[in-house]
Amino acid sequence: MSMKKTIEKAEEYLLHTYNRYGIVFDHGDGVRLYDADGKEYLDFCSGIAVFALGYGNKRYEKALTDQIGKITHISNYYYSEPLAEAAEGLVKASGMDKVFFTNSGAEAVEGAIKAARKYAFNKDGKCDHEIIAMEHSFHGRTFGALSVTGNEHYREAFRPMIGNVSFAKFNDYESVEALVSDRTCAIIMETVQGEGGIYPADKEFLQKIRKLCDEKDILLILDEIQCGMGRCGSMYAYMQYGVKPDILTTAKAVGCGVPVGAFLMNEKVAANSLVAGDHGTTYGGNPLACAAVAEVLRIFEDDKIIDNVNKIAPYLQKKLQEIVDEYDFLLAERGLGLMRGIVFDTAKKKPGDVAAAALSNGLVLITAGTDVIRFLPPLTITEADVDEMADKLRRALSE
């Protein structure tokens, strides 16, 4: 089927909730994608930070096909070997104590909110507890996740949200402290804001939040759905800050393409929050998804994926800074590890226009916020890939 016919069929039957580019991707290989006409693209999006291992990893594919040949679903009334292996691997990799597998990042956030509120309920039997979230944050589009997402554009048509949520300024400790009351049960934030514009948390800010939570028995929820799984130079970004969350959410690269997420918690929360009947999911933790998680974690270790992130990230940062210095409509480069962004003066040039021009030049990029193009390549990229990206980006910026 031609790309034109595929797009026409999709538009006829799909609910129009995405403004898709007019491209039908057919297959991938390494850090490259190919459309249905055979055109090659360098992928610096990786499915929005999902395909950390790149495309066509043979070990990953074999683990999935082997599991498909056994069983893909049994429900959570029973155990499976992939479930046990994935749980052990993810708990050890994250430094947490217990895990609940979900189908997506938004569902992981939903579970984290429920765990925090149940923890508070178990302390005093009341249901009026409050959550502090951050402005410009993004946690998902289901009602609970949307309720703690600090962007009014996403929320306004769907009110009322879940109650007792207030928003502080990211990296502004005083604004957080001013919202704390004796009813505050949790503070939720991304360790590195993604959709909001690629803003890493300041180390002092996060450490002060951790200290505040310890003093007042408030749970710290860190959302590492986009910035976790090695992308920022450690398995989870929080590991670079000298803190540890009470609850951690993860998804995207944890399954490298298979829809799977998780929320994890420390022993204190696990022993005093959700119990049998409080939370569940039909598909979460199914054998296929867990086979993917277990194999991804093994490949990360065997192939030293995080070492490559720490090798390539400074080179990518340097190249992006050189580009920022060349164009008067580019204002800054920022990020952590292989989660980076360049900031535009939108009065002079729109990031969306540049992303579209890059795509026509065979480079896949996406925007963040209103003024940023973000770079989320597979974690397996090389310096040569960065050089190629820089050449294609310059062409797009000059169009």
363-364 and 339-344 as β-strands: parallel, antiparallel, unpaired?
A: unpaired
Of 258, 274, 302, the domain-final residue? 302
Q: Answer yes or no: is 135 within a domain.
A: yes
Residue 147 shares a structural domain with residue 83: yes
Q: Which two tokens stand for residue 331?
A: 């204002």
Give the up-direction half-sphere exposure of residue 300: CA atoms within 13 A in the CB hemisphere: 28
Q: Answer yes or no: is 65 within a domain.
A: no
Q: Answer yes or no: is 150 within a domain.
A: yes
Q: Which two tokens stand for residue 6?
A: 């595929």
Identify whether the C-beta of residue 173 lies closer than 8 Å to the C-beta of residue 345: no
d(C-alpha 82, C-alpha 392), whole Å: 41
One-letter amino acid at 27 equals: H
Q: What confidence tens digit (pLDDT) does each residue in 264-282 have?
A: 999 999 999 999 999 999 9
Indicate the average pLDDT of the chain.
97
Residue 314 shares a structural domain with residue 284: no
For the chain, what percent of residues have pLDDT higher than 90? 99
Give the residue-averaged pLDDT of 14-26.
94
State the CATH number of the domain containing residue 393.
Answer: 3.90.1150.10
Full-model pTM: 0.97
Confidence of residue 98 (pLDDT cuts 50, 70, 90): very high
Q: Answer yes or no: is 63 within a domain.
A: no
One-letter amino acid at 336 equals: L
Q: What confidence tens digit (pLDDT) does each residue in 137-151 have?
A: 999 999 999 999 999
pLDDT of residue 1: 82
Residue 276 shares a structural domain with residue 237: yes
Residue 27 shares a structural domain with residue 96: no
Q: Answer yes or no: is 66 within a domain.
A: no
d(C-alpha 80, C-alpha 290), whole Å: 9
Q: Answer yes or no: is 61 within a domain.
A: no
The yes-or-no verdict on residue 124 having pLDDT over 90 is: yes
For the chain, what percent of residues have pLDDT higher than 70? 100
291 conformational bin, left if phi > 0, alpha if psi -120 to 50, beta if neither: alpha
Identify whether the C-beta of residue 129 lies closer than 8 Å to the C-beta of residue 185: yes
pLDDT of residue 78: 97
CA-based nearest residue to 261, from 391, 393, 111, 120? 111
* Number of neighbours of residue 350 by Cβ within 10 angstroms: 15
Of 302, 326, 350, the domain-final residue? 302
Residue 136 shares a structural domain with residue 214: yes
The yes-or-no verdict on residue 263 having pLDDT over 90 is: yes
Residue 104 shares a structural domain with residue 251: yes
Give the residue-averaged pLDDT of 168-173.
98
Residue 120 shares a structural domain with residue 210: yes
d(C-alpha 257, C-alpha 279), whole Å: 25
Of 302, 323, 354, the domain-final residue? 302
The structural domain count of the chain equals 2
Q: Answer yes or no: is 62 within a domain.
A: no
Q: Answer yes or no: is 64 within a domain.
A: no
Residue 95 shares a structural domain with residue 208: yes
Q: Which two tokens stand for residue 388?
A: 């190629």
CA-based nearest residue to 291, from 105, 58, 63? 63
The pair phi, psi for residue 322, each rounded to 5°, is -60, -40
The yes-or-no verdict on residue 353 having pLDDT over 90 is: yes
Q: Which two tokens stand for residue 294?
A: 């277990």
Residue 83 shares a structural domain with residue 221: yes
Give the residue-averaged pLDDT of 82-100.
98
Give the residue-averaged pLDDT of 56-62.
98
Residue 277 shares a structural domain with residue 308: no
State the CATH number of the domain containing residue 171.
Answer: 3.40.640.10
Q: Which two tokens stand for residue 150?
A: 């600090």
CA torsion through residues 113, 119, 122, 128, sign: negative
- The DSSP-derived string for 82-123 is HHHHHHHHHHHHHT-SEEEEESSHHHHHHHHHHHHHHHHHHH
Q: What is the span of the domain harbouring residue 96?
A: 71-302
Residue 50 shares a structural domain with residue 85: no
The yes-or-no verdict on residue 332 having pLDDT over 90 is: yes
Residue 279 shares a structural domain with residue 318: no
pLDDT of residue 399: 87
Give the up-direction half-sphere exposure of residue 325: CA atoms within 13 A in the CB hemisphere: 6
